[in-house]
Every structure is written in structure tokens, then in C-alpha cells.
Structure 1
């Protein structure tokens, strides 16, 4: 592979140079930030809350733990983790997008839930934390937007404590019988919803395309093992539309 090829990546179905992807993804989430939670409810018919609840249960967070929620955006996972880690623990919401962080911080402030929650703007490929800083790391519907997933996974493994767990909740490859319906919904209904509700059909077209370009269940499991994580396994949710991958740093 040449240097020129290495600099290329996907932005949905488009091929772009790596330096462009972060800016383009940033523009997408800046556009949808204030309507992000509403659109998630509408697009998934509320099922995304069940997927996230499953993630929280699987995380098995205990009092005193330090939790890093990457691409934490509007703070819904942090809201669930904060009472579980208690006053001796800490939850860090980390997102590259300032607009998403602002929405999440404002919402948790309004709800009085920021006592043990920090908000940090940072890139998942270059985490500003020392080795072995966190007991748990979660990333929900964010990994597919990362330019170099292998670097981000290696960073997540680096900042996990020994015995700590990474949980990746992401859209994946649905079972074959679901795919025709899923494709029709993704490429026809989602952009229309984006236009009517968020005033932005292009961003939701990108989100549908980014899901198709994301590694399937087994490929992502292999990437996590290559990053040095062990005991890697995954749960298929809603027929494989979404998968929750888990890995441990031993």
C-alpha cells in the first residue's frame, strides 16, 4: 500500500483523505447536536434506550470506579453511570465535538447530575490520559465515525486498568432476512426523517452510509484482539442491527 493510499479513508460511501474526515464528521454532528436525542428516539422507535440499558448492565460498574464514555455526546450513558460510581468514583464524558458536549453538559447540569461527571473535548485516537487510568470504557455509536479505528482501540486499551473492560455499542450487520427492510429504511426513511425533524437530510444519509462501511461483528472482534484486548465477545441485539462488543485488558 502506498503512502497516498494510506492517507485515504471513507466518509460514508465517499473516499476522502484522512485529514478531511474528522472535519466532515464534526460538521455532521454540529448540525444535528440539538436534535440528536430526539432523532435517536424517532429513528429507533425508542429501542436505542434498551440497547444502552443493556450496555450499562453489561458494564457492571461499581462504586468508586473511573469510567470513560467516549463519543459520549449528550451524556445519556454518563447519566446512568454517575449514580453507580458514587461520590468516590468519576465519569468522564469525552467527545471530539464541542456542540455535542455542550448539549450533554447543559442537560446534566439542568438535571443536577454533574457532581461526579467531567466533560472533556478530545480525540479518541489521542486520549489525554495516563496508562491504566480507567476501570471501564464505553463508546456507543461513535467508533464508526473515527478515522483510524485501530489507533483508537489501541488508545482505549492503553488507558484501561488491568482487569478493566471496554464496551463498544455500534450498528453492525443484521441477519440476512432483515437486510432488505433495513436498507430501505436506512436509505429512504432516515434521510426523510432528518429533513423533516432536524432540517438536515444529508447528515442522516451519511449516518446510514457510515453504518454500511463499519466492520461487521467478527471483523471488529478481530480488531479488538489485535489492539491487545482479550476475552473479546459480543451480543447481537435486534437481530444484529446493533452489536455490543466487550473486551478486557488482562
Structure 2
């Protein structure tokens, strides 16, 4: 090795010796299992109480039903709007899953649509819909993404039923969503939990009207998802 090469090699060795070792990448701690369970209990309790008493139910009552302390509730959801958003996200995800299950497990596309509609009613979608009028960010990215998943799933159910000639073509997804919202919303002064026997009867009458052959000509035009996007809530 030449004297010049020896000098360069020595300088590089000195630089390596002085180099500060890179700090290991920090890992974000994973939520503990009990913390995740508490959060899920809070969301479930909030959803139940919002259905029964409205979105302004006291938060300490939600904590009591969930079996957690007030501090745990506020640690997870510092503001009421945070909890309302989480309940809507949870509800939307559950309804989307019902749509996917119906599409995958039913060979008759109209039976799949009918199954989904009754399942959406069981999720109390109509009773929870007024929460969308609340004071929170309705354009939150998580809400928009979950809504898009739901719309895609329900559109798929309708498209398949119509393509198979099982569903009249002069109705749209918007018509379905408005009907589900309105028919599952409890009547004023009526306990929501006692409405099931009427809800499913009336939904079935509505669904019978969606099957082919159509027995009448509908006034107006089919309601699309684009129509509903301009409204705060389907059925409002």
C-alpha cells in the first residue's frame, strides 16, 4: 500500500472510531389489551344510550353503563364530539360488514339485499341518524373513508340485484338508504326497543315493492348517493 493510501485508510478508521452510533428506532407502545377492551365497552355503551336517550345523554351515565370510571372515558374521548364520531364510525363499519356478509353468503342477489336491509335495521341506524346533526367534524377523513366503504358495499348489492333482473331499475341506492333510515327511526314518544316488530314488518313491505315485476310507475327519479351526499343524513 502506498503512503497516500495508508494515510487515507488511517483517516477512515479514525472517523469510524469517532462516529456516534445511530439511535435505535423508537417503537410506539401498543395499547394494552385491557385499555382496548375499555374503549370498546365505552363505545358500545354510548351507542346503546344514544339510541335510548339521544346524543346528549350524560357522559358519566355512559361510563357507568360501560363499567369504567369517568377518568377512563375522558382519557379515551376528551370531548363529546370525539365519542360521537367513534360511535358513528363503529356503526358504519358494522353495517358495511353486514353488507359484505350478505353478498358473500347469499346466492340470490335480492335475498342478499333483503338480508342486509333487515340487518341495518337491527343496528338502529335510524335512531342514531340524528347524531349527524351534532357539532362535530362531519368531513373528518375517517368518517369519509368509512362512508365510502359503506356506499360501495350497498351499491354493489343493488347493482347485482338489478343486473339479475330481481330488483326494479327505477330505484337507486339513495331510495334504499332513505327508507331504511326513516322506517327504523322510532316514533316520537315511543320506546325504540319496542319498535322491532313494526320496523321489520314495514321494511318487508317496502322490500316487496322493490322486487320485479314493478306494479306501478314511481313519481320522480331514482335517488342516488350523490343526491344524499348533499344532505347531512339520509332521511332528513
What band does the TM-score fall into relative to the shorter chain? under 0.3
TM-score between the two structures when normalised by the length of structure 2: 0.26
**Is the helix fraction higher in 1 or 2?**
2
**Is the strand fraction higher in 1 or 2?**
1
Larger Rg, first or second structure (1 or 2): 2
